[in-house]
Amino acid sequence: MHRILVVEDTPAYAEALERTLTLEGHEVILASRAQEALARARAEPPDLVVLDLGLPDRDGYHVLRELRARGVECPVMILSARSLESDKVEGFRLGADDYVTKPFGALELLARISALLRRARGSGSAATGVIPVGAMRPLADTELRERYGLTERQIAVARLMAEGCTNAEMAARIGLSFFTVRNHAEQVMAKLSVGNRAAVAALLMEPVANPEKRTASRGTATRPGGA
Ligand code: CA
């Protein structure tokens, strides 16, 4: 069982999330305003936060920024109707671990939440308070392969895309034709589920959750449900 803080001001969504997560065996704490969310997070440190962006007092980014500034390192999943690339990038930049757009499917949401909790567990437990805020690390090739199913070529292309290279520059640097590189670039964006190149960079990094080196989670072989 995990304690999940759900920050959501629309009652219908809040109730649906509470029901779904409770059925899954989690303890759910609800907050409908940013200030309330920060107070609840302080009083009862959550294992994961599901965070709406549009809140009555301050927006969800404020909550995320505050949590990270306090050294709270638990996974944060943004759950928002805002589907703009720029919103997602801002969310990841501030230290979100996942971004799901509304309307959402309950099963996908649960699968993503357990993945985040599994990863958090693998990285040693949260909130030591001594982690440099906003520290990011690049994902290793293995992680990119496992997380997004990228091939070796696509990883090379993705890293160059993150540097801001054009197709022509990538073609020159990798030694492939322009068209092959363009195909790889399209596949990278499809596998990362992003609509433009600017968003690639954000997904190749992740917030450092622990000052010690993360141990890759691949050792723990069992996957519930065989997803
Ligand atoms: Ca809202």
Q: What is the pLDDT of residues 58-81, one digit of tens each?
A: 999 999 999 999 999 999 999 999
Q: Which helix (H) or strand (E) holds 50?
A: strand 48-51
Give the predicted TM-score (pTM) of the model.
0.57
The alpha carbon of 99 and the centre of ligand 1 are apart by a number of angstroms equal to 15
Find the helix or strand (DSSP H, E) in which 116 lies.
Answer: helix 106-122
96: pLDDT strictly greater than 50: yes
Calculate how far, in angstroms, residue 93's C-alpha sits from the geometric centre of ligand 1.
20
Q: How high is the pLDDT of residue 213?
A: 44
Structure tokens at 73: 């390192």
In this model, does residue 125 exceed pLDDT 70? no
Q: What is the pLDDT of residue 221?
A: 46
Q: What does the alpha-carbon distance between residue 59 and residue 33 come to, in Å, rounded to a whole number?
A: 9
* Res 214: pLDDT: 45
pLDDT tier for residue 135 given thresholds of 50, 70 and 90: low
* The pairing of beta strand 76-80 with beta strand 98-101: parallel
The phi, psi pair for 101, rounded to 5°, reads -95, 145
Instruction: Give whichever of 3-17, 132-146, 167-181 has the largest mean pLDDT.
Output: 3-17
Q: What is the pLDDT of residue 123?
A: 64
Question: How many Å apart are CA 112 and CA 189, to the nearest integer?
Answer: 20
Between 72 and 126, residue with greater pLDDT: 72
Residue 54 Cα to ligand 1 middle (Å): 4
User: pLDDT digits over 168-200, tens only?
Assistant: 888 888 888 899 999 999 999 999 988 888 788
pLDDT at 54: 96
Cβ atoms of 31 and 57 closer than 8 Å? no
- Averaged pLDDT of the chain: 85
3-state class (DSSP) for residue 5: strand
Taking 3-state DSSP, the helix, strand and coil percentages for the chain, each rounded to the nearest 5, stand at 50, 15, 40
Centre of ligand 1 to C-alpha 60, Å, is: 9
Q: Looking at residue 163, what is its pLDDT?
A: 81
For 152, left (φ over 0), alpha (ψ -120 to 50), or beta? Answer: alpha
Q: Distance from the CA of 200 to the center of ligand 1, in angstroms?
A: 27
CA 23 from centre of chain? 23
One-letter amino acid at 89 equals V
Domains of the chain from N-terminus onward: 3-127 (3.40.50.2300), 136-211 (1.10.10.10)
